[in-house]
Amino acid sequence: MQLTVSHVVALAVSALSMGTSGIFAAPASQGSKGGIPYVNKHDTVPASQLSSAADPNTANKNVSSGYQPQSGGFTKSPTYATFSAFDQASIELATHQEYIELDLFNYGLAKFSDAEWDQYGIDAENRHLIRQMAQQEIGHATVLSNMLGKTAPKACTYKYDFQDVPGFIDFCQKLTKWGESGVYGFLNLLDNHAVGQILLQSITTEARQQFIFRQFEGLFPMPEWFETGIPQSWAWTLLQKWIVSCPDDNVPIAWEIYPELRIDNNPDAIAAGQAAGGASISNNVTALSYEGKEVLFSWDSPGKTEGPYKQKTVTHTSGYPKYAAFVSQYNVTYSPLYDIDSDKRTAKARQPGGQVLSVGPEIINSTSFIALTDSQTHYTPANLSLINQHVVAGPAVYQSG
C-alpha cells in the first residue's frame, strides 16, 4: 500500500492523542479507522469507570484557570512495599530475573579472555558497557528486594550452556527479552502502583540492555514497533531452567512451569549476525524466518520435576495441542499444527503472516515467543494471562528476526 506522508502523520497524531490521555474526547469513528486497535468509543466509557469520576465528555474542556486533572490512582504519600499476593509473587519473579542477570553478565566477563572478546568485535569499551549492565542489576535486585522485605529471595546458583562469546551474547539477548516481556505482562496489573513505578523505571533499563545485546550480536536492533508482554508463568518457565538451586529459606515461586517446548529448526541468530558483519549499531539484517516457514516442534509431557523449587510441570488442558500461538509485538497469532505425533510429542506449523497495524511491519520479526495451545482463543495485551488455561507446552523463544 502506498501511503502519503500526510496519511502517516495523521495516523501518528491520532495514535499519540489517544496514547497520552485515555479520556480525550475522540471522534467515535476513530476506533475503527486507520487500523488503530483497542480504542473503544470514548463517549461509552462511564464516568464511574474513571477512578477520579470525572465525566469523560467534559475532560480537558475545563478552561478554568488553576484546574489540573488528577489520576484516581494518585497517592500523595506512596509506600513502596508490595501489599498483595499478586504484587508479592510478581516482584519475587522479577527479583529472580535480576539476580540471574547480575550473575550472567559477570560470569561472561570473567569467562572469556580479552582476545576472545576482541575476536568478535566486542572491544574494551563494549565490555565496559556489559560491566555497567551488571552493576545496574545490583541496583535492580536491591530495590525489588526492598519492596519484598524480609522474605525477598536471595541469589541462587545458575548454569549456562554457551561456550563462546557469540553464544554468551545470544543467550543474554534472549534472557533479557523474556525478563523484559515477563514484566510488561504484569506491570500495569500491580495493585500497588508505586511499586509499579519503580519497577517500570528499572525495566526500561533492562529493555536498553536487550537492545544492546541484539546490536552486539549483529542483528537489527529493533524490527518491532511494540515490545511484547507475557504472563509470569511464561517468564518463569523460561527462566527456571537455568537456575540450579536456591537457598533453603527462599520462598518458592508461585508461578507455574509448563512442559518444555523446543523449536527444532529455530533460526540461527548468531550465524545471521556474523554474516551481517558482527557487532554494530545497526546491521540491515532482514527477518530470519518468513510467513509460511515450516516450524518444527517437540515438547515434554507434564509432570516432570523442574526448577530450583522442585515444581511439577503442569498443563490445564488434556495435553493434546492443536495450535502454535505465535506471540509477538502485541498480537497472538495462531497457526494450526499438523503432522502431530502425540506419542513422540512432535508437530509442525507454518509461520503466520500479518501486521499489527496496516502501516506497520510484519508482526513476527524479532525475538518472539511460541507456545502450543489447545484453542485459538482471542486475547488482547491486558488479558493474555488467560491463555495459561490453554497452554499444552512452552513458551519457547522463537528467533524470527
Ligand X SMILES: *[C@@H]1O[C@H](CO)[C@@H](O)[C@H](O)[C@H]1NC(C)=O
The residues that touch ligand X, with contacts defined as CB under 6 A, are 35, 37, 54-55, 58, 62, 64, 66-67, 220, 223, 284, 286-287, 331, 333, 354, 356, 361-363, 365, 377-380, 383, 386, 401
We find the least distance from the C-beta atom of residue 218 to ligand X, in angstroms, to be 13
Q: Which lies closer to ligand X via its Cβ, residue 44 or residue 286?
A: 286
How many CB atoms neighbour CB 48 within 10 A?
Answer: 7
Nearest approach in angstroms of CB 364 to ligand X is 8
> Toward ligand X, which CB reaches closer, 27 or 292?
292
Q: Is the peptide bond before 395 cis (omega within 30 degrees of 0)?
A: yes
Backbone φ and ψ of 182, nearest 5°: -65, -35
- Residue closer to ligand X by CB (options 160, 379) is 379
237 or 289: CB nearest ligand X: 289
Burial 147-172 (b: 16+ CB within 10 A, else e): bbeeebbebbebebebeebbebbbbb
Q: Which amino acid is at 193?
A: H
Q: How far is the CB of 110 from ligand X (least distance, A)?
A: 33
Of 35 and 78, CB closest to ligand X = 35
CB-nearer residue toward ligand X: 77 or 284: 284
* Secondary structure string (H, E, C) spanning the chain: CCCCHHHHHHHHHHHHHHHHCCCCCCCHHHHCCCCCCCCCCHHHCCHHHCCCCCCCCCCCCCCCCCCCCCCCCCCCCCCCCCCCHHHHHHHHHHHHHHHHHHHHHHHHHHHCCHHHHHHCCCCHHHHHHHHHHHHHHHHHHHHHHHHHHHHCCCCCEECCCCCCHHHHHHHHHHHHHHHHHHHHCCHHHCCCHHHHHHHHHHHHHHHHHHHHHHHHHCCCCCCCCCCCCCCHHHHHHHHHHHEEECCCCCCCCCCCCCCCEEECCCCCHHHHHHHCCCCCCCCCCCCCCCCCCEEEEEECCCCCEECCCCEECCCCCCCCCCEEEEEECCEEEEEECEEEECCCCEEEEECCCCECCCCCCECCCCEEEEEEECCCCCCCHHHHHHHHHHEEEEEEEEECC
CB of 386: closest distance to ligand X in angstroms? Answer: 5
Q: How far apart are CA 101 and CA 228, in angstroms?
A: 19
Output the smallest distance, CB 98 to ligand X, in A: 29
Q: Taking the complex as a whole, how short is the minimal distance between the CB of residue 151 and ligand X, in angstroms?
A: 33
Nearest distance, CB of residue 357 and ligand X, angstroms? 7
Asked if 194 contacts 78 with a C-beta cutoff of 8 angstroms, the reply is: yes
Beta carbon nearer to ligand X, 245 or 282: 282
Instruction: Output 19 or 66, the one with its CB closest to ligand X.
Output: 66
Instruction: Give the residue with the Cβ less far from ligand X, 8 or 244.
Output: 8
Q: Which is nearer to ligand X, 153 or 231 (CB)?
A: 231
Least distance to ligand X from the beta carbon of 360, Å?
A: 9
The residue number with the shortest CB distance to ligand X is 354
Cβ at position 46, least distance to ligand X in Å: 15
CB of 321 to ligand X, least distance (A): 18
